[in-house]
């Protein structure tokens, strides 16, 4: 993927090949500017890659929108809509009748910790609740693959831990394929089946690491020797300057 920056063409992503097994929880980690978001935009069809293709279920999905659920870093809840009407946005756009969409969303809102807030406006919610509403919106937009771009990046540490458990519960219930971007190594290991470590300039995947820790995981899994070994490896990979000759990455 090459952008035409004002200063000339800028290669954001080197050729990247990722194949993701259905139903898995996969994380992408890497320093800022390693093209994680660019990759997501390409998968979601919001950017036309300068080369390469996206296949979903074996079909060419390059440049087609609405094929995957995509949650951006910001919750992007519409302030003029209630929580319920925000959550059904995806279905509404797909042409599901409003009443039916609301009926489908209601039990989920209750089950996933937003009960009693259906008719509140986003301004009345805490950061964690807003993020949950945004995630439900992504889930209810019924696709097999879900892209989560640092969904918990802006939350405080305590809420973040709570939201990770919440997300794992949700993932176990829905059985979707999740691709998760984060800066937080521990978060990535704790949540995923497989991790792809990326490097910058140009963005590329340098190593794929499987996480063989059994599920359901408990918090103390983070103290497990396997966990610590993976964490060490990741930190090592992230600390290496993969472009020593190019100087320090910005």
Partner 1 sequence: MLPGVTLPQIPALHSNLDVTPQRSALSSSSLRSFRRLPVQEDWPFWVILAVQASILIGAVAFWQVAADRGWIDGFFWSKPSAIYATMIKFFTEGDAWTDIGFTFRSTIFGFVLGTTLGSMLGLSFWWSRNYAAIVQPYMICFESLPKLALAPLVILVFGMGLASKVAIATALTLVVSTLTAYAGVKALDPDGEKLFYSLGATRWQVFRKLVVPSCLPWIISVLRVNIGLALTGAVVGEFIASQHGLGRAILYAGETYDIALVWVAVLVLSIVSIIMYAGVSWLERLLRKGIRQ
Query: Which spans of this chain sit near partner 1 (rule: CB under 8 A)?
Result: 41, 44-46, 65-70, 72, 74, 76, 78-80, 89-90, 92-94, 121, 123, 141
Residue with smaller CB distance to partner 1, 70 or 180: 70
Can you tell me the distance from the alpha carbon of 223 to that of 179, in angstroms, rounded to the nearest whole number? 24
| Least distance in angstroms from the C-beta of 90 to partner 1 | 5
Residue with smaller CB distance to partner 1, 37 or 195: 37
Residue with smaller CB distance to partner 1, 143 or 224: 143
Can you tell me the distance from the alpha carbon of 41 to that of 157, in angstroms, rounded to the nearest whole number? 27
Q: From the CB of residue 56, how many other CB atoms can be counted at a distance below 10 Å?
A: 18
Buried b (16+ CB within 10 A) or exposed e, 40-49: bbbbbbebeb
Residue with smaller CB distance to partner 1, 40 or 227: 40
| 137: exposed, middle or buried (Cβ count in 10 Å: 0-12, 13-18, 19+) | buried
| Beta strand 69-71 pairing with 204-210 | unpaired
| Least distance in angstroms from the C-beta of 56 to partner 1 | 13
| Least distance in angstroms from the C-beta of 89 to partner 1 | 7
| 231: exposed, middle or buried (Cβ count in 10 Å: 0-12, 13-18, 19+) | middle
Chain position carrying tokens 């980690």: 29
Residue with smaller CB distance to partner 1, 68 or 191: 68
| Least distance in angstroms from the C-beta of 239 to partner 1 | 31
| Least distance in angstroms from the C-beta of 163 to partner 1 | 20
């Amino acid at each position: 993927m090459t952008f035409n920056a004002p200063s000339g063409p800028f290669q954001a992503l080197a050729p990247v090949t990722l194949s993701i097994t259905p139903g898995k929880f996969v994380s992408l980690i890497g320093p800022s500017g390693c093209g994680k978001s660019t990759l997501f935009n390409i998968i979601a069809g919001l950017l036309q890659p300068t080369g390469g293709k996206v296949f979903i279920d074996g079909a060419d999905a390059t440049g087609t929108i609405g094929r995957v659920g995509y949650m951006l870093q910001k919750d992007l809840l519409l302030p003029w809509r209630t929580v319920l009407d925000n959550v059904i946005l995806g279905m509404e756009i797909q042409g599901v009748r409003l009443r039916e969409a609301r009926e489908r969303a209601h039990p989920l809102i209750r089950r996933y910790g937003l009960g009693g807030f259906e008719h509140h406006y986003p301004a009345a919610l805490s950061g964690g609740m807003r993020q949950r509403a945004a995630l439900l919106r992504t889930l209810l937009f019924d696709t097999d693959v879900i892209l989560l771009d640092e969904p918990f990046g802006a939350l405080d540490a305590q809420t973040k831990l709570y939201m990770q458990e919440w997300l794992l519960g949700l993932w176990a219930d829905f059985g979707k394929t999740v691709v998760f971007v984060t800066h937080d190594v521990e978060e990535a290991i704790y949540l995923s089946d497989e991790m792809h470590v990326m490097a910058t300039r140009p963005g590329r995947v340098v190593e794929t690491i499987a996480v063989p820790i059994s599920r359901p995981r408990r918090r103390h899994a983070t103290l497990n020797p396997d966990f610590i070994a993976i964490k060490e490896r990741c930190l090592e990979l992230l600390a290496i300057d993969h472009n020593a000759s190019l100087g320090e990455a910005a």
